Amino acid sequence: MRYVCWIGAMVALVSNLLTATSNGSLYAQTSTTNPYRVALGWEKLPEGRTLGIMSGAFPDPDGQHLWLLDRCGGNQCADSDLDPILKFDLDGNLVESFGAGIFAFPHGFYLDHEGFLWVTEGGSHGDARATLGESLGLGHQVLKLNQRGDVLLRLGEAGVWGDGPAHFNGPSAVAVASNGDIWIADGHRGGNNRIVKFARDGAFLLEIGGGVGSESREPGRFSDPHDLKLDSRNRVYVADRGNSRIQVFDPDGSLLYIWTQYGKPSGLFIDRNDILYAADGLSGTLRTGAPDPWRSNFGWEKGIRIGDLKQEQAWVVHFVPQHDADIGPGLEFLGVDFTGNIYAGEINRERLVRYELFRSLDLRKDSSR
């Protein structure tokens, strides 16, 4: 295991704090430019249909469409007949939808290199968001679907929570490697606090961390692993949200880096150029009680931090402030289209925000640092 970037990140954090203090700012925030502007109302839906909490976005390989996962117009699908999986053209027109009746609390979303869609059920046992689904025999699963909405694979047992190789407890995220290996973050708040690896056919391979009540700051352990993505080398990036950090693992599960320069990440996206986008909608908002009373992350600003994973230390080179930062918890999951526009979900407002790229995304390290 290598911890060089852990030390580097701490040095960067102290440097940024000093810079922020000298500038009279209240935020320990990397000094960057913002090449984005906000656009609301991009999506065009049938009359009476609105978006709820968006749990992910992915550009279709055809370059002409975008897939979104929506919690059925609100924050729950267990009592809804609406489709949570939505396909839009790039002008925001809805062209296809499916998935009604399959999910209770859809949370993690992924479009793999073969075009298959993956969705996790993110309500952990004991969380009110899981209770209704469990009563209906839904939840605690990861599903693979084709683009017609047919379910091709189910991992976990519907409505049954656990922490062994065959069960989950509110799995929060899923990503698929180029060789077909399936990585799952399990699970959401109060869940198993682990990441798990399966083979293409669903055979269990390994787990890292784990166990209800096992929240920990130790390297290779987690507190609310909320999202998970892979880069072009199949390295695994975990949004270890409760610990305000990203942990990076190699394809075999060995810890490579611990990064704190991305704030308190709830959602991650890695584009085809290995650019990392990390959504932080919780920093600076008071969070108390279980599982981790230290997670408020005061001194950091809500927003989207962007870095280049091709650079060894993956410094934050752009910061996009959260639109309406005063609303409290906001940005969570996000996706990026092939021209660099960001589609992000805000949990408090239950809406989609499109951050439009209006000038070149310069990924050189900011000379002011």
Read off the pLDDT of residues 283-306 as tens digits, 9 standing for 90 and up: 988 777 665 555 688 889 999 999
Burial profile 155-194: b = 16 or more Cβ within 10 angstroms, e = fewer: bbebbbbebeeebbbbbbbbbbbeeebbbbbbbbbbbbbb
pLDDT of residue 213: 72
Q: What is the pTM of this model?
A: 0.88
Q: CB–CB of 234/277 below 8 Å?
A: no
Tell the burial category of 363 from Cβ atoms under 10 Å away from its Cβ (0-12, 13-18, 19+).
middle
Q: Tokens in use for 46? A: 């049938």
pLDDT of residue 360: 83
pLDDT of residue 310: 93
pLDDT per position as a tens digit, 26-44: 334 444 679 999 999 999 9
Domains of the chain: 4-357 (2.120.10.30)
The rounded distance, in Å, linking the Cα atoms of 160 and 141 is 9
pLDDT of residue 2: 46
Nearest alpha carbon to residue 83 among 66, 59, 101: 101
pLDDT of residue 33: 77
The rounded distance, in Å, linking the Cα atoms of 289 and 41 is 36
Nearest alpha carbon to residue 316 among 282, 256, 361: 361
pLDDT of residue 197: 98
